[in-house]
Chain A
Amino acid sequence: MNRFDYTSFLKRWLMVLVLLSAPVLRGLGQYYASAGNALRSAQASAGSNPTTESTVSLKDALHDLKKRFHLRFAYREGLLDGKTVSATWLHQEQAPEVILEKMLASCMLGYKQINKKQFSIFSTATADRTTGNAATSETSTETLAATETAAQEQAVAAAISGTVTSQDDGMALPGVNVIIKGTTTGTTTDSDGHFSLNAPDDGAVLVFSFIGFQTTEVPFSAGQTVVDVVLPVEMTSLSEVVVTALGIEKERSALAYSVTEVKGDEFTQARENNVANALTGKVAGVNATGLSTGPGGSSRIVIRGNGSLTGANQPLYVVNGMPIDNTTPGGSATTNGGAGNVDRGDGIGGINPDDIESISVLKGGTAAALYGSRAANGVIVITTKKGRAQRGIGVEYNGTFTTEKVSVYPDWQYDYGQGDNGVKPMTLADAVTTGRRSFGSKIDGTDFVAVDGLTHPYNAQRDNVKNFYQTGTSLTNTLAFTGGSDVLNYRISMSDLNSRSILPNSTYNRKTANVSINSKLGDRITVDATLQYNLEKAHNRPTAGDALGNPNWTPYMMANTADIRWIKPGYDANGNEIAWNDAPIASNAYFVANKFQEDDIKNRFIGQASVSYKILKSLSLKGVVSRDFYNYNYNYIVPSGTLYVPNGQLNNYKTDVAETNGMLTLNYNTQINDFSIAAFVGGNQRRYDYKQLNIAGSNFTIPYFYSTTNLATQSTTPLTQRTGINSIFGSADFGYKDMAFITVTGRQDWFSTLSPKNNTIFYPSIGGSFVLSEALSMPNTIDFAKVRASWAQVGGATPDPYAINLTYSMVPSSGQPLQNVTMDPTTQTNIITNPNLKPLTSTTYEAGFELQFFRNRLGLDVTYYDRKTTDDIVKTAITPTSGYNSVILNVGELSNKGIEVLLTGSPVKNGNFTWNVSYNVAYNKNKVVRLADGLDQIQMASSVNGWAYINNIVGQPFGTIVGTRTQTDANGNVVFNKTSGLPVATGLQNLGQGVPPLTMGLTNEFRYKNFSLNILIDGKYGNKIFSLMEVYATRLGKMKSTLPGRENGLDVSGVDQEGNPYSRTVPVSGLRVYYDNYKIYSDKFIHDGSFVKLRQIIFSYNIPVKNLKVLKLQSASISFVARNLLTLYKSTDNFDPEQGYTNSSAQGFESFGLPRTRSYGMNLMLKF
């Protein structure tokens, strides 16, 4: 019996945790199962078996058992692949052991019950050669597979045999993996726990491994022939786990707060360039918004409402347990900027979706308490894919191609065409003057002279938007290699993303290389390292905001009888901009696209390394160092010949940013009878360095030669920012059986950005959960019930250094030296520093419950939270008459209360067809409770020309849009100014909130055999949006609201400011000025920003690779994806409600960003 039972075997079986999560989260594992189905069906239809029996994949069947009986299964990775069982077993009313045995037996499998709830599954078939190198979607802590080649076997010298038993109950253990250390030679125990193999005659070490038991090494000496082993039970419980703070995996039932996990393949199929955008609609309480800034643009994620009055309010991103930088180089785009007001992309946008294993969204304060202040807005924990031990090298290819087109077009008036005073242009000069005015005569098809100097018929040109923007494309290729042995596992991936924007001549390229290594050096030391290198290049990122240098302005604002292609290519023979309108700052879109040069390159390196040392069985020490470093080079050239700056401008940023973290933790885990304790203490040191050099200048001495050496005027401004946070923290989890859990954490932070007398804060958290279904007997319909509650504080400080002392800076001068008070580097305006700044506090109460009904066909997860931020550190605009433009203060109180509901269900579930539904909805009520004494509102942002503002006002929700209305008297009559004949505007009033309080997402997933269809609908309700585009469209006569009076003048009436009746007729010749003046009444441009969108459709087909053996494919799938397919509801006529263009906290303005698009694509995944 010295031959191998398996030509392929595992050196060591390690845990594979079956993650039987919500159906929607189920990943590629399904594909294998379905592939098996297809195979069987194919055989059936071929007539080999006339009685077609309904089958389900073994995985699904186990999933069902798991949910019905709260069992946990562990098995070797790949063991279940392709195996199916009769669907009838799903519904049998028998003991789980009985069902399990029957099912497994039909698949040549057996099980070993490890404890009341846990089962280990193994193969009973000697012929089973399922190898472990098939990647699965299951969370694999580590899996090893050995090569099988007989040639690699060592010289057979002596036979060795023995029996393996469990320490727990003394029973024989079948299926235990036995291997000679350092070789690929090994076997498994038979059903009696017996094994035998050939071993070197000079002695070696045998390694015994089995799921649920500690891996044990037993040396044997030369001549020894019998080795009997007793395996101790592994303390680590096998259960559904999620990754929580500091990368710690926790059992879901032990969590005292709400965590949502999203699997990596949700991002790879229907992909967004920025992975954060793909969270839209998927997680209750997470408000994710992609921006209208094209490929390479940023995302804006807000979890449970905006908790800080003026801070970024975005969550902390953590990759493999360590924070990464998510800043936008040069800062977010402003709400009112002009040329070069671009979104330069954020940090999370650099993560390749294909490298992501899973994303956990930690919403509660308890989870966040361990990451410190920056986690006050929630944490998004990303776990990247890891290598696995396996036979040979696993190769995975993922390719995605998407195309996108503009999906939202403005609804302008096409009754009256280009011109002014009711007259169409008949000369080139008139055509230029009226290039953006649609106050001409009735559109009638007669001749007029257009801006190209030619005569054209006076016809409506409805397709300027369509004609200007092109079809955008995006192609991503990712190739990943995985492999490993018992000491070292690796995964290497390389990815290339190439995007062509819908904006002509605008591109984005991202290359990512990711290496992940984990290694076990002996018994006690584990080393993990992840290295990532990114190269991101963007060309001509689109400007948003004001008109100058904004290519999005022309297609919308060009007069409605002019074809935008008439101003192509936008420049003359000398390369100078051709005017298409009377305002030089309203740039020619083609000139901007063709001649403006905006390039940025980001070189980013993320490195992480951790060493873990097991001091005792229950005590280990772990050290982690991580560094996220990037250098960024941005060059923006406004070329010679630009109308608004004929001699050109240059703006260059060179930025080096590094976020470095070092963390040391001492971990202690033990089990005392029914009580478990998991505790750790640790310290973290964070350093952030931002070094920037800005070279700005104007007037190229030699025209068209764009170098800093050629600038008549230039200045160089350095910016050096350094901050640090030192922390110590501790956490303890106590568990009683699988029933009751308590978590206590505490953390003390020291902040470099605050003054030494106020720079530290301690903040604790406590949380508990109780699994009712374990403790009490429940009605039959309820399968699982858990309640949870927590209380947590998080302290924080200003992220900006140098905020406590006023300093003075030299101003570049060619003459006498000049000095100024040091300005805020982001706004370049004066800021009042504050030596008394103290840490802010954010306190969250949270309570919730989870229920599973009807054999887990229906699930409900409800959370209520109450989050309060006090002593917020606020950078607020103040009147410039104070001598400063902003001040930094500890003020006020901000409250967020909300409820999150997740409803999951499986309305249909039979062998071939399943339908799963997941609906999440969250309502967040936000209120500014208090600001400082004498301060009842603060300004967050202003629009171009101050036509509207975003304020935080006491008693109002965060981010209230503020502006004017048309003044009326008590009887509703419009009040006119007699002198000007124009309606009077009111003072500033609240016009609505800019952030939607209600968000929801509905996912329907259908699976039939090898096909699956995933449909996501999401919506947001209750916010307002102020449209700058409509302000201009009104001023320029493109809005339908400017039609009255075109023929015979506009009769207006009301009262004058003294209250006397007033009326007049605005002549046709005065209409433009009259409507132009509408810009001072903000409320005319306020819209409800609510929407419901058909966000995503993924249609996938698992290619049955077993029919394609020649290709050596493990698995393959092809998906057709569509994003932003349809807007089911919106109340904006001319733009998309999601037309934001800055990832700052100031949300609620729309202003000529890139239009929203609909995208279609195809995704191909191949595994070899």
Chain B
Amino acid sequence: MKKYNHPLSFGSLLLAACLVCSSCDKGFEEMNTNPDASPSVTPGYMFTKAQYDGASDLLVLLMGTMQYTTSYNDVAGFGSKYVTSQNTQAYGLFTTAYPKEINEIGEVIRAVEDDPTKVNLLSAARVWRVYCFSRLTDMYGDIPYSEAALGYVNSIYKPKYDAQESIYADMLKELDEAGSSFDASKPNFGNADLLYNGDVTKWKKFTYSLMLRLAMRMTKVSTANAEQWAKKAIAAGVIRDDADVADINYLNTGQVINQNPLSYNLLNSDYIRADGVSNTEGGKYQESFITFLKTNNDPRLPVLSIVYVNGSPDTTVAVQKGMPATFSAKPADFVTYSEPNPKTILKLDAPLSVLTNVETSFLLAEASLKGWYTTETASDLYSNGIRAAMRQWALFGAGGVIPNAKIEKYVSDHALNTAGTEDEQMEQIYTQFWVGVFPNAVEVFSTYRRVGYPALIPNNYAGNATGGQIFRRMLYPNTEQNLNAQNYNDALTRQGKDDFMTRMWWDTE
């Protein structure tokens, strides 16, 4: 009889096991807590990261497109030949900006926006967000904006692309609101702010300088809008003094993120061997840039450029020579071409300019030509732009200091031809802009598309992808076709083919 109890006892054992295990997940929550991570954000640390990331998102190939540099190679990375392999290079900015600075700045904004005492933190973050977004839209046109980087908070995994026009409208609104919200009596980011150590007055100038930049971007497409916003920015006060320029200082040792991203890139992709011969990617200064500097007796030439003579960098003007962008094989005299000066432009602790009085001066000169700004003459503004451009190299160390006399000589030799047509003056202004904001090729690329200057002669390299024309935009990463196809296709319907020669909203014919 007893035998038949066994199945029952089995069942009761199972029941007992279940009861014993009523707390079967004890300790699991603690186990599932990452010991190496913090549960909450520290806005200052995240903001610093967003600044580094935003500043380092450079599209270095544009240095080639804007004819500062070139390579005999047609491997990707040099934009001087407009070859198809450049399309993948152009993806980089798009794919890195969103998960990095755009997402980071969103985290900062969400962390501080509900606390009125943190209005300066919020405003600085909003302005930096505009800066980062403006760089993106100026490269690609329509981009995810209003729904961007909301993957975590709003579960938006496929953000729609906004029209560039509406992005500009919102960016200007953001700058307007943030600019008027800064309050010197409230706390700021302090040292976590790489641009100004939290200085609210300087942040306001940066805000309005950025507003001026964006306003002027619209001159071709919406003159009235451009004028209205430009005037607003000028009235509120833009960066005019060297002390107010927005740049980020770097270290020459330590983590890569603390080093000047442009110098790091140039060195590691090309010039690290420092012998003028074994350049990794075959890069040199381009002929048009060096020839321009040389022809105009530009005192910046030895600051920027060297030639390796007997293995040593030589800044002698006479030996400087740019390389034509048409080469397809390494020339025998490769060593004789100019390349970036290791004592200035290649220094890992060189400052990186975000927005300077060089740029504002030339923008103001254009505004003056247009009659939107009358306090100063276009001619003075133009000359001041050149002066600021020459002075800024002093920030790169002793090798960058240009004596005042040389600056003034150059300024007087290159005065604005106020007797010329507006177009002729525009050419002078934006040719000096090209030399003046070097190496900020991204900004030059935008003004070039807007005003057509400097008058670069495009390179018609065999088999190029643009029919021998300079790009009008960069391509969206092809991962977008796979991961966000509907919104991507909507953008193409609105903007045109995803092509190097498709013009974006502000870049009308």
A residues bordering B, Cβ < 8 Å?
420, 427, 429-430, 432-434, 582-584, 618, 643-647, 666, 668, 670, 672, 677, 679, 681-683, 698, 712-713, 715, 718-720, 722-724, 726, 728, 730, 732, 746, 748, 750-753, 756, 759-760, 801-802, 804-822, 829-830, 832-833, 877-885, 887, 934-935, 937, 939, 942, 945-946, 949, 951, 962, 977, 979-980, 982, 987-988, 1069-1070, 1072-1074, 1076-1077, 1080
Contact = CB atoms under 8 A, between A and B. Distances in A.
18 contacts: A677-B7, A712-B253, A726-B24, A802-B33, A805-B39, A808-B37, A815-B258, A816-B192, A819-B42, A822-B34, A830-B99, A885-B99, A979-B499, A988-B481, A988-B485, A1072-B463, A1076-B84, A1076-B85
Interface string B40-79: 1110111011001000000000000000000011010000
B39 A884 contact: no
A439 to B, nearest CB: 11
B440 interface: no
A151 B418 CA distance: 124
Given A879-B159, A982-B84, A430 B329 contact: yes
Interface stretch (B112-120, B144-152, B402-410): B144-152
Contact of A645 (B85, B99, B268): B268
Tell me whether chain B's interface is mostly helix, strand or loop, or mixed. Answer: loop
Nearest to A1074: B463
Contacts of B156: 882
Given A802-B34, A829-B99, A884 B151 contact: yes
Contacts of A698: 256
B255 interface: yes
**In the complex, the 9 A-B pairs of residues with the closest C-beta atoms, listed nearest first:** A814-B254, A1073-B463, A883-B149, A882-B151, A883-B103, A819-B45, A807-B37, A752-B28, A881-B144
A759 B484 contact: no
Interface string B270-310: 00110000101110000000000000000000000000000
B83 interface: yes
B142 to A, nearest CB: 12
Nearest to B334: A429
Contact of B36 (A668, A718, A884): A718
Given A420-B328, A760-B24, A670 B6 contact: yes
Contact of A939 (B10, B37, B253, B482): B482
B330 interface: yes
Given A801-B34, A881-B98, 20 more contacts: A420-B329, A582-B75, A677-B6, A713-B254, A720-B36, A751-B28, A802-B32, A808-B41, A810-B45, A813-B254, A821-B103, A832-B152, A879-B158, A881-B480, A881-B484, A884-B151, A887-B151, A946-B477, A946-B482, A980-B466
A722 B31 CA distance: 6
A943 to B, nearest CB: 11
Given A715-B255, A814-B255, A980-B466, A820 B501 contact: no
Interface string B466-503: 11010000000111111111000100000000010100
Nearest to A878: B157
Interface stretch (B14-22, B237-245, B375-383, B393-401): B14-22
Interface of B: 3-4, 6-7, 9-10, 13-14, 17-18, 20-21, 24-25, 27-29, 31-42, 44-46, 48-49, 52, 72-73, 75, 83-85, 88, 91, 94-96, 98-99, 102-104, 106-107, 143-144, 148-152, 155-159, 191-192, 194, 251, 253-259, 268, 272-273, 278, 280-282, 328-332, 462-467, 469, 477-485, 489, 499, 501
B482 A583 contact: no
Contacts of B33: 802
Contacts of B463: 1070, 1072-1074, 1076
Nearest to B6: A670
Contact of A728 (B21, B36, B478): B21
Contacts, number: 295
Instruction: Indicate the member of A732, A817, A820, A1077 with the most B CB atoms within 10 Å.
Output: A820
A979 B501 contact: yes
A814 B348 CA distance: 13
B7 to A, nearest CB: 7
Contact of B45 (A728, A730, A817, A1070): A817
A681 to B, nearest CB: 5
Nearest to B35: A720
Contacts of B10: 668, 679, 681, 730, 732
Given A582-B73, A801-B34, A987-B485, A946 B152 contact: no
Contacts of A647: 272
Contact of A756 (B29, B45, B489): B29
A977 B49 CA distance: 42
Contacts of A429: 329-332
B46 A820 contact: yes
Contact of B280 (A644, A815, A883): A644
A670 B144 CA distance: 69
A530 B282 CA distance: 60
B479 A942 contact: yes
A750 B485 contact: no
Contacts of B158: 878-879, 882, 934
Nearest to A669: B6
Given A884-B151, A945-B88, A987-B481, A980 B467 contact: yes
Contacts of A820: 46, 49, 104
Nearest to B484: A879
A814 B103 CA distance: 23
A752 B33 CA distance: 10
Contacts of A810: 38, 45
A130 B325 CA distance: 90
B24 A728 contact: yes
A804 B489 CA distance: 33
B31 A809 contact: no
A962 B41 CA distance: 38
A815 B278 CA distance: 33
B192 to A, nearest CB: 6
Given A801-B32, A979-B466, A748 B482 contact: no
Given A681-B17, A946-B477, A756 B280 contact: no
B479 A946 contact: yes
A1105 B48 CA distance: 78
A759 B25 contact: yes
A746 B17 CA distance: 12
Given A683-B21, A887-B157, A1070-B462, A878 B49 contact: no
A181 B47 CA distance: 80
Nearest to B12: A681
B134 to A, nearest CB: 16
A538 to B, nearest CB: 28
Given A670-B3, A883-B103, A884-B152, A949 B332 contact: no
B495 to A, nearest CB: 16
Nearest to A801: B32
A746 B278 CA distance: 68
Given A808-B37, A877-B483, A882 B157 contact: yes
A821 B6 contact: no
B38 A807 contact: yes
B431 to A, nearest CB: 28
Contacts of A809: 36-38
A1092 B420 CA distance: 79
Contact of A726 (B25, B143, B148, B328): B25
B255 A881 contact: no
Given A801-B31, A878-B483, A942-B479, A713 B465 contact: no
B194 A816 contact: yes
B342 to A, nearest CB: 14
A987 B476 CA distance: 13
A329 B145 CA distance: 39
A748 B45 contact: no
Contact of A818 (B6, B48, B462): B48
Contacts of A434: 329
A818 B485 contact: no
A271 B35 CA distance: 43
